[in-house]
Amino acid sequence: HTVNQLTTNIAAQEQATYHATSLIPGAGTPGELQQVFSPADLTRCIGSYNLTRSEDTDLAIENAHQAFAGWRDTRVDLRADCLLKLADLLEQHRDNLIYLLQNEAGKTLADCIAELREAVDFCRYYADQARGLCGHGEKMPGPTGESNYLYHQGKGVFVCISPWNFPLAIYTGQIVAALVTGNCVIAKPAEQTSLIGHYTAQLIHQAGIPEAVFQLVLGPGSQTGNQLCQSQRITGVVFTGSTQTAQIINLNLANRKNAAIATLIAETGGQNCLIADSSCLPEQLVKDVINSAFLSAGQRCSALRVLFIQQDVADKVIDMLKGAMDELNIGDPRLFSTDLGPVIDAKALNILQRHDQRMSAEAQAIKTLAEPDMNGHFFAPRAYEIKGLEILEQEIFGPFLHVVRFRANELDQVIDAINDTGYGLTTGIHSRIDDTIEYVISRIQAGNCYINRNMIGAVVGVQPFGGMGLSGTGPKAGGPGYLRQFMTEKTITNNISAVGGNADLLELSD
Ligand code: UN1
């Protein structure tokens, strides 16, 4: 590999290439070679990776199965230390990671830094939590004469299927949560971000995680995913991506013969709305709307898709929005001045272009920025006014804002319409009226509610992130309940009043 040649210096970047393969002890010759091009510049090949052959995916499952008991019984302190080491390694290798995030995922520098920070936070947060949860029992209240302890231990083999939009943070967060709680992991990063997945995987091994305990497969996408999720040896799947794919995973897991019911931890799509009433502060609203809808090229599941604005202030806010959109720079993600880069690939671009055609025929255009003159998958920010949510058939994953006007007496209809989408990821409310805020927040179905601020960038351990309804299973990543899902629970009841009974038996256990 040419890891050491990678650099954040743009001139030198033009020369650098990176090669990735699956990481499976005992694997045979690598599968078909795929080239990787920068989404911001389709003429620039930044590296390549080998697909994983299906017999090697089977081998990965077998390796993980064999390695499980040893890893489960490894002291939690040692597992948690690996996560702390990984956090340090991620920080030490930040130049290369940022290089890959910019060139393979098309992320801006600000997004890269935030993502690196989040990956590091996941490592430290879960390491700390695991020490408090694993390896020793939780004493339960009980009658005198017996002692009761609840123990947590790893469940088995987890498959971690992560998205291209957070190829470092979500990828790392899923993996380290499963590992630190005593599970073996087979990671399948989104194919669009195989290089970042591979680079980070090497750091995970450098941090001390054994090769059979953590393995990497690199697609082909749905074929490898299906193969993994159809295996009886898989105990659970952690997935972030579309609601549709989560349903396929769920079916695959459910259809396995003679297999225990699997754990599925899914964080999926949203149709995220923000309600702003006439008491909102327009300057702040516009700033928060711009950030939530357009930064990261709208490619966050938390991103704002629909602004509901009260009629009385709508014209003014829409005018200000147009002006603020003009300030956005879309272009080369490697330049400091760029606010948003390209979308991830031709397929994503095509879906956005088709939605744009529909909107230009059926909705009222507010503003469309110009696309940069670059040979990449660029889709410039745009906003349309629509009558209601019915016109939006699916989540629109890009820098695309929809605006709906409502009257003061229509707040209930707005809330019902949002809840009727079935999604429940993020929501926003901009208002200076406490009663309105409380009313909206208590009725809206949403996992993350933001009051008078933007709707993206949830911080690990501070704003646990995840949805309800069609948006995911919960408990939330970066929150107090997340790690428990990765562990099986064992209740141990000891009759300490029996002849030879020992009250210290479990107290002493680590
Ligand atoms: C995603 O986009 O898949 O709060 C979820 C945020 C991020 C969203 C991650 N944690 O913006």
The model's pLDDT over 308-345, given as tens digits with 9 standing for 90+, comes to 999 999 999 999 999 999 999 999 999 999 999 999 99
Of the pLDDT bands very low, low, confident and very high (cuts 50, 70, 90), residue 7 is very low
**3 state DSSP class of 371:** coil
| Rounded distance between C-alpha atoms, residue 97 and residue 115, angstroms | 10
pLDDT tens-digit series, residues 75-111:
999 999 999 999 999 999 999 999 999 999 999 999 9
| Rounded distance between C-alpha atoms, residue 246 and residue 466, angstroms | 14
pLDDT tens-digit series, residues 151-208:
999 999 999 999 999 999 999 999 999 999 999 999 999 999 999 999 999 999 999 9
**369 CA to centre of ligand 1 in angstroms:** 25
**3 state DSSP class of 17:** coil
Indicate whether 119 pLDDT > 50. Answer: yes
Q: Is 458 a pocket residue for ligand 1 (Cβ < 6 Å)? A: yes
**301 CA to centre of ligand 1 in angstroms:** 5
Task: Report ipTM (2 d.p.).
Answer: 0.93
Indicate whether 508 pLDDT > 50. Answer: no
Pairwise pLDDT comparison (393 vs 196), residue with the higher score: 196
**457 CA to centre of ligand 1 in angstroms:** 6
Residue 299 alpha carbon, nearest atom of ligand 1:
2
Q: How many CA atoms lie within 13 A of 191 on its CB side?
A: 16
- Pocket of ligand 1, candidates 302, 304, 454, 462: which has the most ligand atoms within 8 Å of its Cβ, to mutate? 302
**262 CA to centre of ligand 1 in angstroms:** 25
Indicate whether 383 pLDDT > 80. Answer: yes
In 301-433, DSSP assigns E strands to 306-310, 364-368, 382-385, 400-406, 426-430
pLDDT at 159: 98
* Catalytic site residue from 104, 301, 385, 395: 301
- Is residue 196 within 8 A of residue 94, CB to CB? The reply is no
Of all protein residues, whose CA lies closest to atom 1 belonging to ligand 1? 301
pLDDT at 3: 39
* Catalytic site residue from 115, 267, 385, 395: 267
Indicate whether 9 pLDDT > 60. Answer: no
Q: Is 306 a pocket residue for ligand 1 (Cβ < 6 Å)? A: no
- Is residue 33 within 8 A of residue 18, CB to CB? The reply is no
Q: Is 457 a pocket residue for ligand 1 (Cβ < 6 Å)? A: yes
**118 CA to centre of ligand 1 in angstroms:** 10
Q: Measured in Å, how far apart are the chain's first and last C-alpha atoms?
A: 41
In 88-229, DSSP assigns E strands to 138-140, 147-154, 157-161, 184-188, 214-216
Q: What is the DSSP string of 209-244?
A: --TTTEEE----HHHHHHHHHT-TT--EEEEES-HH
Averaged pLDDT for residues 279-303: 98
- Is residue 105 within 8 A of residue 196, CB to CB? The reply is yes
Q: Is 201 a pocket residue for ligand 1 (Cβ < 6 Å)? A: no
Q: Is 301 a pocket residue for ligand 1 (Cβ < 6 Å)? A: yes
Residue 448 alpha carbon, nearest atom of ligand 1:
4
Of the pLDDT bands very low, low, confident and very high (cuts 50, 70, 90), residue 510 is very low
Q: Is 267 among the residues known to form the active site?
A: yes
- Pocket of ligand 1, candidates 174, 301, 456: which has the most ligand atoms within 8 Å of its Cβ, to mutate? 301
pLDDT tens-digit series, residues 435-473:
999 999 999 999 999 999 999 999 999 999 999 999 999
Indicate whether 41 pLDDT > 90. Answer: yes
| Rounded distance between C-alpha atoms, residue 440 and residue 425, angstroms | 15
Q: How many CA atoms lie within 13 A of 7 on its CB side?
A: 10
- Pocket of ligand 1, candidates 111, 117, 170: which has the most ligand atoms within 8 Å of its Cβ, to mutate? 170
Q: Is 300 a pocket residue for ligand 1 (Cβ < 6 Å)? A: yes
**83 CA to centre of ligand 1 in angstroms:** 22
Nearest Cα neighbor of 182 from 150, 205, 152 is: 152
pLDDT tens-digit series, residues 199-244:
999 999 999 999 999 999 998 989 999 999 999 999 999 999 999 9
**123 CA to centre of ligand 1 in angstroms:** 17
Indicate whether 11 pLDDT > 80. Answer: no
The pLDDT > 70 percentage for the chain reads 96
Q: Is 114 a pocket residue for ligand 1 (Cβ < 6 Å)? A: no
CA angle 282, 285, 288 (to 5 degrees): 150
Q: Is 283 among the residues known to form the active site?
A: no
Q: Is 270 a pocket residue for ligand 1 (Cβ < 6 Å)? A: no
Q: What does the mean pLDDT of the chain come to?
A: 94
Q: How many CA atoms lie within 13 A of 10 on its CB side?
A: 7
